[in-house]
Copies of this chain bind each other. A is one copy, B any other.
Amino acid sequence: MAETTEPDFRARVRRSFDRQAFMRMIGAELTRVEQGMVEIELPFNEMMTQQHGILHAGIISSALETAGTYAGYSVLEPDAGLLTIEFKVNLLSPGRGERFLFRGEVTKPGTTIIVSDGRAYAMSQDAPPKLIASMTATKMVVRDREGFAE
């Protein structure tokens, strides 16, 4: 397992997340970084809807996939990078809410392959969080490839 004990894995995760132009574009924030677990939050925005006015499946998937990537990244050694090989998303309830929370967690760390799972929740002031999607993603650790570490 490629687990890191360096004190600043949080800073390393944040620096990489901050370079994701697309996460910035949609207003996603990295609100929690633990070893093997990351949370991203996103306020609802009409720009991100599909034809029925609810959050686009692509946005849900993008944020879940990113949460899964940084969950994996948080347990990597500092000079390694992570590429997503594949992921699957199940859309469990319509994406209606004021805010959305995306949690990624490492299910299986490894020196070559890291598998993470994710859950997405719709958040509203007057209701409990509602599970709207689940995800499983497979990532490959890359080393010695310029431009793929942090």
Contacts and interface: CB of A to CB of B under 8 A. Distances in A.
A80 interface: no
B61 A58 contact: yes
A57 interface: yes
Looking at chain A's contact residues, the main secondary structure is mixed
A73 B107 CA distance: 26
B59 A62 contact: yes
A93 to B, nearest CB: 8
Nearest to A93: B108
Contact of A86 (B22, B81, B88, B148): B88
Nearest to A62: B58
Contacts of A91: 83-86
A136 B90 contact: yes
